[in-house]
Structure 1
Amino acid sequence: MRILNWGVDSAAAVTETLHQCVRDNFGRPDFWGRYLSTIPNVSDGLTLEEIRFIHDNGMKVMPIFNNFREAVGARAGAVAARNAIFKARQLGIPEGTFIFANVERFFLVDSAWIIAWVETMYNSPYRPGIYADPDEGPFNEAYCAAHAANNLVGEQAVIWSAEPELGTTTKQKAPKRFIPSRPDCDANVWAWQYGRDAEECPIDTVLMENRLYQNLF
């Protein structure tokens, strides 16, 4: 039987207030997805103090890198990965942790960027993840072109799917079936953001396979 772990992600820092809001309204997350970089009006960057707070409350951290606005070209893909690696090292994120590139559905995406992200992460202490929408936007075509061009993409990259959106739920009422949308080619789709923009707290709700959960920190 597939073991699933439930958690949330947020652009806002995990404070006592936000954590209590999630606990009261949704349940205790197994993990919390957080962005590595501070971007004005977009995301609070993860801090060492926040990592300690998350760990002290019995959760793992799912690191997300979002300091880019399009995913085009090999050079840009390698630069994004190097910047993510630098931030991860600054925060003491342990080797073997997956770091997810935040590729939004409205981004321009090409196969060269995906290959460079995967190769650069693969040659670092960290592992390549990509948050993306296989249903809307150009990711599906770009990913499958990258998969056909470079074996590392299919072997090493893990996809965190943004579809389908079923709506946020409590931990107890999370989907029992793990049915994230997948690219049209083979892909390791191990996480699913099934609910976005909860009304009660500024979070999204996420399910992931235990094999990914074990490679968070």
Structure 2
Amino acid sequence: MYFYEWGVDSAQSVTEDTFQCVIRNLGYPRFWGRYLTRISGVSEGLTEQEVFFIHSKGIKILPIYNAFREAIGYLRGIEAAEDAVFHAQSLGIPIGIPLFANIERFFGIDKEWILGWTEAIVRRGYVSGIYHDPVTGDFNQAFCGAVNQNEKVKQLTVLWSSEPEMAPSGAWDSPNYRPAVPACGGNVPIWQYSRDTTQCPVDMNLAEDSFVNLLW
């Protein structure tokens, strides 16, 4: 039997104001997804001070890598993975932690990139993770193509689904766990079920408790 934990992710840094907004309006998150790098106009990068703040609240960190705008080609997948590992290690993130590539629905993506990312992340001792939309865009075809070429991709990669998108809700009224999955299946232990909140600058997620235990 699975138990599910509620958490959030944000492009903005986690400050005391943001934290108080979330716990006051939505509930206490078990984990918080944050980006490893600063991308102008998109995301603020995680800092050591922010890591200390999040951990001091008893919240786990879900690291996200988004310093790319398309996911095409085996070598580009390896390059992205190596850069993600560099930033993770700079922050002191230990091996064994999932590192998530942020694949938006409008990104170009192919099976070769997924193979390169997965192999390189695993080789460096981390867990390969991919945030994705299995319904809209090219991810479904690319992932299943990668699995068809190397069945281990399905076993080695944890998938963070962004579908279906539900109404915003907090820790006490979150929906039943039912993320969309690729046509060829896969390990989908986390679901971003809503991005439509005006209360606080966060997205809302549910994750299997055993997966949350793997986070940093």
Q: TM over 0.5: same fold?
A: yes
* Equivalent residue, structure 2, for 1:210: 209
What letter is aligned with 2:185?
D
Specify the SS of the correspondent of 1:7: strand
2:60 equivalent to 1:33: no
Q: For the residues of structure 2 that align with 1:210 and 1:137, how far apart are their CA atoms?
A: 29
TM-score, normalised with respect to structure 1: 0.98
* Equivalent residue, structure 2, for 1:167: 167
Report the alpha carbon displacement of residue 3 of structure 1 after superposing the two structures with TM: 1.0
* Number of aligned residue pairs: 216
* Equivalent residue, structure 2, for 1:21: 21
Report the alpha carbon displacement of residue 211 of structure 1 after superposing the two structures with TM: 2.1
Q: Percent identity?
A: 47
What letter is aligned with 1:195?
S
Q: 1:174-189 maps to which residues of 2 (within 5 A)? A: 174-175=174-175, 177-189=176-188
2:52 equivalent to 1:43: no
Report the alpha carbon displacement of residue 169 of structure 1 after superposing the two structures with TM: 0.5
Report the alpha carbon displacement of residue 197 of structure 1 after superposing the two structures with TM: 3.6
* Equivalent residue, structure 1, for 2:190: 191
What letter is aligned with 1:92?
G
Q: For the residues of structure 2 that align with 1:211 and 1:152, how far apart are their CA atoms?
A: 21
Runs of at least 4 residues of structure 1 off by over 6 A?
Answer: none
Report the alpha carbon displacement of residue 152 of structure 1 after superposing the two structures with TM: 2.2
Q: Residues 170-214 of structure 1: CA distance to partner in whole angstroms, max 9, x if unpaired?
A: 110011x21000000020011100000410011100001122111
Specify the SS of the correspondent of 2:92: coil
Q: 1:85-100 maps to which residues of 2 (within 5 A)? A: 85-100=85-100
Q: For the residues of structure 1 that align with 2:62 and 2:180, how far apart are their CA atoms?
A: 20
What letter is aligned with 1:53?
F
Q: For the residues of structure 2 that align with 1:132 and 1:48, how far apart are their CA atoms?
A: 27
Structure 1: unaligned runs, 5 residues or longer = none
> Is 1:119–1:152's contact at 8 Å kept on the other side of the alignment?
no
Q: For the residues of structure 2 that align with 1:116 and 1:152, how far apart are their CA atoms?
A: 13
Q: 1:135-150 maps to which residues of 2 (within 5 A)? A: 135-150=135-150
Q: For the residues of structure 2 that align with 1:167 and 1:46, how far apart are their CA atoms?
A: 28
Report the alpha carbon displacement of residue 113 of structure 1 after superposing the two structures with TM: 0.2
Q: For the residues of structure 2 that align with 1:138 and 1:6, how far apart are their CA atoms?
A: 28
* Equivalent residue, structure 1, for 2:103: 103
Q: For the residues of structure 1 that align with 2:196 and 2:97, how far apart are their CA atoms?
A: 26
Report the alpha carbon displacement of residue 155 of structure 1 after superposing the two structures with TM: 1.1
Structure 2: unaligned runs, 5 residues or longer = none
2:1 equivalent to 1:4: no
Q: 1:58-77 maps to which residues of 2 (within 5 A)? A: 58-77=58-77
Q: For the residues of structure 1 that align with 2:202 and 2:196, how far apart are their CA atoms?
A: 6
Report the alpha carbon displacement of residue 167 of structure 1 after superposing the two structures with TM: 2.0
What letter is aligned with 2:163?
E
Q: Residues 93-113 of structure 1: CA distance to partner in whole angstroms, max 9, x if unpaired?
A: 011000110000000010000
TM-score, normalised with respect to structure 2: 0.98
Q: For the residues of structure 2 that align with 1:211 and 1:148, how far apart are their CA atoms?
A: 27
> Is 1:118–1:152's contact at 8 Å kept on the other side of the alignment?
no
